[in-house]
Structure 1
């Protein structure tokens, strides 16, 4: 199904938040088992393209097969992208206001370190810290053990999509306000990433906020991103989305989108063997995942299923690409297939809808608080002789 037309009822805030968060989790689960492989390898392994939930790449040997062991990727299991997204929602539920880098240090890091949770890929209850990737463990190293200034703690980390992959909640809290989402995400991501990794987090949050705007389209989302993005990130989005605009099916777009993003990607053609210049700070480069996710949204004309399957079959870091594409199309109002959502929820033993209900309530509270703050400022400014004052 495609996003609702202007003639039909526009999706509500609750529907957009639910679509984005459930959509991101489902995209994550679909992409997990083929992460790190090329479109050609995926085609050969599955005797065709992936069209839904599939099993582990190595079948029953997932427990020992390298380089994935001991993670059970596949069969509808979400990865660390979703674990981190849900953790950020819990932080919003605690703070019940806009977040900054200090909120990451004060709330997100303790959540990762101290509270055991069900980890689908481990099929066990464990601390989230034991599952997250090295770039996310950096949060604990720098903030808990290194006592770094949270606003600068991301400096020195490998520059990757680690912050962007779970920042969709920031876009939803700032629904219909991309500049505010961008600014808040940059602050939050400062504790985790620097350079174009931090920039990607800001732009992905802006994309989700733009998608949650009534009447939004893939083109309006991309325009909002280009209005805010800087340096290589902006150029990569522009080039990839320009290439995407010439395609209406993901199969024909797989190679052109990779070719368009390649000059900005530092990892190189072999995803599992990054170049020596990979993931270092630069104003000339961009993470691969964000531009490709937006490109797939354009190819799919905003359709959730088409965009996510395009992201999954693109390969490479496709769980994160599908997470981002799923968040944007879900926020646009394109329905997440119920069968996929049910499969992923049951397989992962996670309630995918509870975080959305929580974030919707918190978003309403934050908006009401923002209105009160704005009115207080307006009154003060009027007293100073600004607009609205009486002569």
Structure 2
């Protein structure tokens, strides 16, 4: 049996732009919520705590003591609550709905900072309405300190911040606005992330956005997404992705993949073997290193052959910074198939527990992406006309 095609030759069941944006954003949020309650722990600790691998939404690590138990307090991680990864992703979408065009580092200063310090939202982990600034990690508070209080040049504001996955974790909207154009996504994300990160943290933001954009291309596969990433990635980020991909292609189940992917990325990860006790060189600028999260997310995508459930569950059970790994794996997988692989009960529980409409941001971003593409066409045609005049042999 063959798949029906339309006159363009594209299969009729190919996900639309709206499908892919929805799949990516819902997939990212669900991955984030699944990874949150086991973030920071090892795979062995996760299996001991949950009696085996995590297979869905679980409760807080310390049960009812989540309000006071360290090192988690005061956050209610678990029970379907999204974390700062999703809060920042949705904040960036609101920036796009204001700017209605491509973003730059100046957009972070003009729009994202006010989102963080002026507009309260529901914070699931705090079980209250609060400013996003009151939930985000210190690496994200840096944006406000540098841009709002320090009046630093937005393009340079990321310099000096710890180098982690802080900027990369919320760059999916940049990839979606540049759907099917990974080069443009990479360039835009590097500019935006310059207000937040430097070195390989900024590089990872660009490559993650490119991965999401590549996943939106009709006919895309995990292999084609990987190729797009490797065509753009630089320095240690490229080397880390290559090392992890080589291992990932040799294994087909995420349980077996976890120790193999960790061993592959370890030479490039500065944090070290004990996630809660980072090494002296942790999160410092380097051309030789990479964040751990993006290569592992791509690795799990390859292990799962793009399927959402095993890619995200592999990311969750990997431990360490697994909410961000699952956010990235979920965003890319969701863009590949338009979210068809996301379990409905997971999405429903996350939306209800987090008091979020997971589809509204996707609808808003889809509308903006179409507007931006229309502007891009107008700009491109103007450039083509000007260049034609410049090269007229008259």
TM-score category of the 2 structures, normalised to the smaller one: over 0.9
Corresponding residue for residue 228 of structure 1: 232
Matched, 1:347 2:353: yes
TM-score normalised by L of structure 2: 0.96
Q: CA deviation at 1:384?
A: 1.1
Q: Aligned equivalents of 2:275 and 2:281: distance in 1?
A: 13
Q: Aligned equivalents of 1:131 and 1:94: distance in 2?
A: 23
For residue 377 of structure 1, give the secondary structure of its aligned residue in structure 2: helix
Matched, 1:36 2:40: yes
Q: CA deviation at 1:337?
A: 1.1
Q: Aligned equivalents of 2:83 and 2:390: distance in 1?
A: 52
Corresponding residue for residue 385 of structure 2: 379
Corresponding residue for residue 253 of structure 1: 257
For residue 151 of structure 1, give the secondary structure of its aligned residue in structure 2: helix
Corresponding residue for residue 171 of structure 1: 175
Deviations 1:325-352 (A, max 9, x none): 0000000015211110000000000110
Runs of 4+ in structure 1 deviating by more than 6 angstroms, as ranges, are none
Q: CA deviation at 1:60?
A: 0.2
Deviations 1:26-57 (A, max 9, x none): 00000000000000000000001101100000
Corresponding residue for residue 125 of structure 1: 129
**Any unmatched runs of 5+ in structure 2?**
none
Q: CA deviation at 1:9?
A: 1.4
Q: Aligned equivalents of 2:393 and 2:352: distance in 1?
A: 61
Corresponding residue for residue 75 of structure 1: 79
TM-score normalised by L of structure 1: 0.97
Q: Aligned equivalents of 2:383 and 2:228: distance in 1?
A: 27
Corresponding residue for residue 217 of structure 2: 213
- RMSD between superposed Cα atoms in Å: 1.2
Q: Aligned equivalents of 2:207 and 2:278: distance in 1?
A: 24
Q: CA deviation at 1:8?
A: 5.7
Aligned residue runs from structure 1 range 59-74, under 5 A: 59-74=63-78
Q: Aligned equivalents of 2:286 and 2:390: distance in 1?
A: 44
Q: Could you tell me which of 6, 21, 28 is aligned with 1:24? A: 28
Corresponding residue for residue 368 of structure 2: 362
Aligned residue runs from structure 1 range 294-373, under 5 A: 294-333=298-337, 334-335=339-340, 336-373=342-379
Q: Aligned equivalents of 2:258 and 2:71: distance in 1?
A: 25
Equivalences, count: 385
Corresponding residue for residue 198 of structure 2: 194
Q: Aligned equivalents of 1:100 and 1:52: distance in 2?
A: 37
Deviations 1:236-287 (A, max 9, x none): 0000011000111100000000000000000000000001100000000000
Q: CA deviation at 1:390?
A: 7.3
Q: Could you tell me which of 36, 45, 49 is aligned with 2:49? A: 45
Q: Aligned equivalents of 1:247 and 1:135: distance in 2?
A: 35
Q: Aligned equivalents of 2:12 and 2:273: distance in 1?
A: 44
**Any unmatched runs of 5+ in structure 1?**
none
Q: Could you tell me which of 259, 273, 277 is aligned with 1:273? A: 277
